[in-house]
Structure formats: structure tokens, C-alpha cells
Amino acid sequence: MDNAVRLIEADARRSADTHLLRYPLPSRWAGDVDVALYLKDETTHITGSLKHRLARSLFLYSLCNGWIGEDTTVIEASSGSTAVSEAYFAAMLGLPFIAVMPASTSAAKIALIESQGGRCHFVSESAEVYAEAQRLAEQTNGHYLDQFTNAERATDWRGNNNIAESIFQQLGEETHPVPEWIVVGAGTGGTSATIGRYIRYRRYPTRLCVVDPENSAFFPSYEQGADVVTGASSRIEGIGRPRVEPSFVPGVVDRMISVPDSGSVAVAHHVGRVLGRRVGPSTGTNMWGAFKLLAEMIENGCSGSVVTLLADSGDRYDDTYFCDEWLTSHGMEPSESAASLAEFERSGRWS
């Protein structure tokens, strides 16, 4: 156990923090309102997404709880990115790893898990992953990490260089160092829980907005104040769930915005062109929300900053979100949002 914790801490110590990029907004809006948009670039983690933070926290939490021993099989229910990061830590500790994933998971993610010695076990619907992971854990006498339950509790929400503390520190010398809004999506809900709690703990006036894709249970449940189960798979990888996950903490969320899937993809394509590199679809969802909030600030004459996340790179989605045939066959039509995006670029208005 001692050595396992040391290996994880040593890996963290050798790693640098992720960048906070300033997103280039059209300068011709410049009038009375001064707004800025920042992107916390979580793609630069060794395993390519913000799930690197979660995987590290889950392994440390499980080790320190005595749930993982020297040859425990480690199991996770995942839509892909978490398993990629967990396979990395399992390999580092020399532990067998099994990822239970929907059959729709991208080939690139499967290859990344397998290249690190992880095994992939598929189910047909994303709602089946939990019970199957539990069953495998019992069968192998292994440990089910259970990101959807443990994400919010395994993360140090008061600081310890968590994502929230890092964002506020990196904004320190900016014109608007305390953002009006931080915008994130929810998969486990862990990132929004950590940021929302940190904002309250540090007594910042910043508000937290969670953006949610079609088919997800988070948005309707938040609106209705009751647990809604959609049972349907999200089409935006990494975010949106068929049920409200235990790690989602609605009490720290100030606002939720439901984002159409075609819009998420359109904005991801657009942001990729602006930045000169592809971003994943959940980053499109984040940026849709950020654009909408910026447009409201401009309309209300409110200067300030907005922060959101570049959650993962688009390179994992060559044959899905960056393939026209795949988009059409999945009922997504990004070109429908072209007019809204052009209008936002031109005028700072968002419809």
C-alpha cells in the first residue's frame, strides 16, 4: 500500500499543471463591455483528459481505504475516458484492470485501454454498466472503483491543487481574476461538485453553470427537483447520464443549461478551427454554454470573465464526431447551428 501511494504521488510530482488558455473572442465587440473567456486545458494530462485527476483520486481513495491490495483486480464502469486514465494507474501499480463499457465506445479509447494492459468488457446499453461492473467485482473478488458514486468524495474539494484551486490561482493576474461564471458538463458530476464546493468554501461570488446534453437525466431532474430516469444513452461522450449519479451535487449548481447535441458538435468544430486543433464534443457543450452566458453579460453591460474546460482532445473522435456520415446516421446536423455561431462572432448575440 505504502509503495503504491508513493508511486502515484511520485507520478503527480513529475507532472506539470494544465494550462489556462485565453480564448480569442472577436475584438470588434469592444465597447463598454469587457469580457474574457478562458479554457482550462485538461487535454495535457498524460492520459489526455480531465479523467486523469479523477483516476488518481479514486486509486488513492481506494488504497487508503484498504480496498485495493497487492493483486486486487480493479474494475470500473465507464464510457471510456475514465477507463483510459485508470488503466494507466493500474499498469503503474501492476494490477489487473477491467473496464465495463457500452459497446458504442470509440475504437480509439478501446485501443488506449488495451495498450496499457487493460481488458474491455462490453454491454449493449450504458445503463447496464453499473450492475455488470458489480457482478465482475464479486466474481473476481476484485474492487469496483465506482466513479459515479465516489468521484465527489474521493476529490479534495477544499484545495490540494484540485481543478478549482488551480483555476483561481491561474486567473490571479488577469483583468477579471474572479470569474462571473464557471461552466462545466457533468458525467460523474465530480468536477461540478468540486468546483461548486470550492467556490462556496472560498466565498467567491462566482456562479457555477452545468451544461447538459440531450437524453441526460441531470437537467430534467434539476428543473423538476426530482429524480428523473431517462434510461437513454447520451450522444456526447463523457457527459450526460441515463440517471442522476450519486456524485452529482445539485445544491452547489447555480444554473443548468440544456444544449442540443447538434449544437455541441457544431461548436466543437468551430472552436477547433479557432484554436487550430480538434476538441472533443463535451468541450463543444461547454463552449455553447459559455457563449450563451457571455452574450447575456454583453447584453446586460456586465464586464467580467467566464471559465470553462477543454475536457478532451478531438483526436479520439476521427471516425465519429469528425465524420459526416457518422453524424448523419446518428441524427446530428451541426450545420444547423452555423447561423447562430456566425451571429455570435459578428455581434456577441446568441440565439
Ligand X SMILES: *Cc1c(COP(=O)(O)O)cnc(C)c1O
The residues that bridge with 98 in the sheet, in sequence order, are 75, 119
190 in contact with ligand X (CB under 6 A): yes
| Residue 213 dihedral angles phi and psi, to the nearest 5° | -85, 175
Signed CA dihedral, 40, 46, 49, 55: sign only: negative
Nearest in space to 265 (alpha carbons), one of 213, 201, 191, 197: 213
Rounded to the nearest whole angstrom, what is the least distance from the CB of residue 82 to ligand X in the complex? 6
Nearer to ligand X, 106 or 191 (CB): 191
Binds ligand X by CB under 6 A, chosen from 142, 179, 238, 348: 238
Whole-angstrom distance, CA of residue 142 vs CA of residue 121 = 15
Whole-angstrom distance, CA of residue 297 vs CA of residue 306 = 10
The residues that bridge with 255 in the sheet, in sequence order, are 209
Binds ligand X by CB under 6 A, chosen from 63, 83, 239, 265: 239
Binds ligand X by CB under 6 A, chosen from 118, 189, 272, 284: 189
Site string for ligand X, 104-143 (x = CB under 6 A): ----------------------------------------
The residues that bridge with 36 in the sheet, in sequence order, are 305
Rounded to the nearest whole angstrom, what is the least distance from the CB of residue 236 to ligand X in the complex? 8
Rounded to the nearest whole angstrom, what is the least distance from the CB of residue 172 to ligand X in the complex? 24
Binds ligand X by CB under 6 A, chosen from 282, 305, 320, 337: 282
Shortest-Cβ-distance residue relative to ligand X: 238
CA dihedral 160, 165, 170, 176 (to 10 degrees): -160
For residues 115 and 82, the answer to whether their CB atoms sit within 8 Å is: no
Whole-angstrom distance, CA of residue 75 vs CA of residue 139 = 11
Candidate segments 31-39, 166-174, 190-198, 219-227, binder of ligand X by CB under 6 A: 190-198
Site string for ligand X, 2-41 (x = CB under 6 A): ----------------------------------------
Whole-angstrom distance, CA of residue 172 vs CA of residue 163 = 15
Rounded to the nearest whole angstrom, what is the least distance from the CB of residue 190 to ligand X in the complex? 4
Contact residues: ligand X, CB under 6 A: 49-51, 81, 151, 185-192, 238-239, 280, 282, 311-312
